[in-house]
Amino acid sequence: MACTTILVGKDASYDGSTIIARNEDSANGEFCPKRFIVVKPEDQPRKYKSVLSHVEIDLPDNPLQYTAVPNADLKEGIWGEAGVNEANVAMSATETLTTNERVLGADPFVELKPAKGKEGEEGFEPEVAGGIGEEDFLTLVLPYVTTAREGVERLGALLEEYGTYEMNGVAFSDVDEIWWLETVGGHHWIAKRVPDEAYVTMPNQLGIDEFDLEDAFGEQEDHMCSADLAEFIERNHLDLSVENSTPFNPRDAFGSHSDSDHVYNTPRAWYMQRFLNPYDEQWDGQDADHKPVSDDIPWARQPERKITIEDVKYVLSSHYQGTPYDPYGKLGDQRTRHMFRPIGINRQSQLAVMQIRPYRPQVSRAIQWIAYGSNPFNTLVPFFPNVNSTPKYLEDTTTRVTSENFYWENRIIAALCDSSFADTANAVERYQEKTGAMGHRMVASTDEQIERLVGDVTDEFDAEDEIGDVQPMEPDEIIEAVRNGEAREILAAANETMAAQLKEETDKLLDSVLYTASMNMKNGFHMSDF
């Protein structure tokens, strides 16, 4: 899948939260209708079989409850994509990455090999299952981890045992840390902790540009990797540094260096960092420090100001506004306006922004912000994941087109607005602002109700402690607190209120843009009818 990811460390975010976010984009020419669901422990499989690769894996008997955003049509599997579990661990899986021939020659993908011939006949060869991939990752990992670091360890162990048939990047977060894992070939992987003061931008490229192998094989404070990675690099001559430099550059060693990256990938990282660090360097013109085609755009950097939820939505909806590359813009020409792949694209399936807040009680610490469909025309709204069920407006996505669920209603709005961009832009912007404000208001109101229920959370912190530096409960205690029945009822009621208000405003927007787009039809005639 073609996606875009941004990760925001707790000291880089506006409120001290860890934030991980990703657009899930469907393949070219396809739509993947999405649902927002809660998976309860009794509904989690104990024996898992992948639809695409046919690999079978036995799962533990003690899964946690978690949210997911699976496909509405399960013909290609679950594709859970994004969620938060009862331990307030979030997972985003996956960002499809690129690699090179040297890596795949050294460690080939583990692909499904169909049976040949018929059983019992001469020459018959039985089927050989493939590895695990984006279809599987969330279901196999998120219900069984209580920290972001444990998420890396579990997924890493599964990759080493079963292998994978594709290159992927996966994000894990808890209240203290964000970790980013990248697969390397069929069985190898690397993972790096996102610096607290930094954000990370990830288009569909292997992204980590500095990796401390000594730490990965030692204290593992900020780096982890597969057990034989050092030997794998040396044996296959993958280190491309001219001198024995430290740290090691995985992007050079494991990544791609193709011309298509300059059309599809690097421009997206360029635009995100251009927005978040507009004054740190020159971004435009012949003398720019980094250009859309630059291969050395940093994986992580400190922003010029704290990053908000609205900033995350903006960059993950962007189409090169204010540049000659904007397909809806007035700058440039027809060549430049279609030169680079936008971030906000027509085939977006969903956007998940998962925020883990250090200053709230465990039961309401996590928020999963959700948008469906093409990001330039949709809205991002918050829902509490620690509930027993999700609103039907977001859960009951059908495989047929209807305006009665949030996914398809957004799809219809985007198709209408695209052809009448200038005429509908104000209505879309007002909708996004109003629903975003409703979301923040809902969160604040619900936080007050939870505080009255469980007591003022600020009592957990000493006056001298910084928010984010304190983890007041052990994982088992967190899970027990999150399972508080009365608190979950409050959160579920808030979600339902949010969904009802969201539908009302989305219906109004659909009415508005349908009328506007209809007035722009080519067979319109402006004399009065008699």
Bond preceding residue 94 cis, omega within 30 of 0: yes
CA count, 13 A, side-chain hemisphere, 1: 27
CA–CA–CA angle 264, 101, 168 (5° rounding)? 55
Bond preceding residue 5 cis, omega within 30 of 0: no
Query: Hey, what's the torsion of the CAs at 201, 207, 210, 213, to 10 degrees?
Result: 130
Amino acid at 169: G
Q: How many CB atoms lie within 10 A of CB 284?
A: 12
Amino acid at 121: E
Region of 220 please: left (phi>0), alpha (psi -120 to 50) or beta. left
Sort 510 into a burial class: Cβ within 10 Å, 0-12 / 13-18 / 19+. Answer: middle
Give me the active site residues, please: 3
Residues 71, 74, 76, 80: is their CA dihedral positive or negative?
positive
Distance between CA atoms of residues 167 and 177, nearest Å: 23
Angstrom CA distances, 203 to 206, 225, 271, stand at 8, 21, 11
Residues 256, 260, 266, 268: is their CA dihedral positive or negative?
negative
**Token pair recorded at residue 29:** 């020419």
